Structure 1
Amino acid sequence: MVKARRLATKRGGELRIAFEGETITAFEGETLASALLAAGVAAFSLTRTGEPRLPFCNMGTCFDCAVRVDDRELVRACLTDVREGMRVRRQEVK
C-alpha cells in the first residue's frame, strides 16, 4: 500500500474574496476552484433539478466549475487565479 504524505509548501499572501456574499480567505497563486474547495464550498452551481455541481476535470474542459465572477458569466474557476476583492456567485442555470 502506498502511503501519501502532504509536502510542506510556502503559500502566497492572504487575500479576501466573497462567495455568495460570505468572505473567504484565499492565497495568492491559488485557483479560484482550489480556494472555494478549501473553504468547504459544497456547490459551485446547481443543476436544473437542484443538485450541486463541483469541479470535475480541474483542467478547463468540462465547465462543471463555472461560476459568476464580478458579473461575468461562465468563468471556469479551475483556470482563474484568485485576486483580492473578487465577488463570486453560483452560476445560474438557464
Structure 2
Amino acid sequence: MALLKRLAEGDRPALDFTLDGAPASGLLGDTVLTAVLTCSEHLRGSDFSAEPRAGFCLMGACQDCWVRLGDGRRVRACSTLLEAGQQVCREPGRSL
C-alpha cells in the first residue's frame, strides 16, 4: 500500500517510470520522492539496517532520500523531478 495518497492535482499528465525494475507511475511535476511514495510504502532502506525510510527534511538538506537512477546517478529524491521512463533503484540496506 502507498504511504501517501494524492488528494489534489490528479489532472496532471501521467509519467511512467520503473521502481526497482517494476512499472510505476507518477504525475508531471512530481519529485521522485512524491512519485515513489504515492505508489509504495517506503522510499528506500536505511544504509545501516535496511529499515524502511521515507525521507526526512523533504528539502534537500539531509542525506535520507538518496536513490540511484538507471544512468548511475545518485540523486536526492526530494529535489529531483520525475521524468518519463526514469529508472529508480532504492537498493534497500546498501550504501548508495
Shorter-chain TM-score range: 0.7 to 0.9
The residue correspondences of 1:36-47 to structure 2 (distance < 5 A) are 36-47=36-47
* Structure-1 residue corresponding to 2:53: 53
Aligned partners of 1:45 and 1:66 also within 8 Å: no
Question: What is the CA-CA distance between 1:62 and the residue it aligns to?
Answer: 0.8
More divergent stretch after superposition (13-22 vs 83-92): 83-92
Residue identity in the other structure for 2:52: P
Equivalent position SS for 1:88: strand
Question: What is the CA-CA distance between 1:90 and the residue it aligns to?
Answer: 1.3
Relative to 1, partners in 2 of residues 1:85 and 1:49: Cα closer, same or farther, differing over 3 Å?
same
Separation in 2, partners of 1:23, 1:63: 26
Structure showing greater radius of gyration is 1
- RMSD of aligned alpha carbons: 2.1
**Unpaired runs of 5+ in structure 2?**
1-5
Question: What is the CA-CA distance between 1:10 and the residue it aligns to?
Answer: 5.2
Aligned residue pair count: 88
Separation in 2, partners of 1:93, 1:77: 15
Relative to 1, partners in 2 of residues 1:17 and 1:49: Cα closer, same or farther, differing over 3 Å?
same
TM-score after normalising by structure 2: 0.78
Separation in 2, partners of 1:62, 1:81: 17
* Structure-2 residue corresponding to 1:72: 73
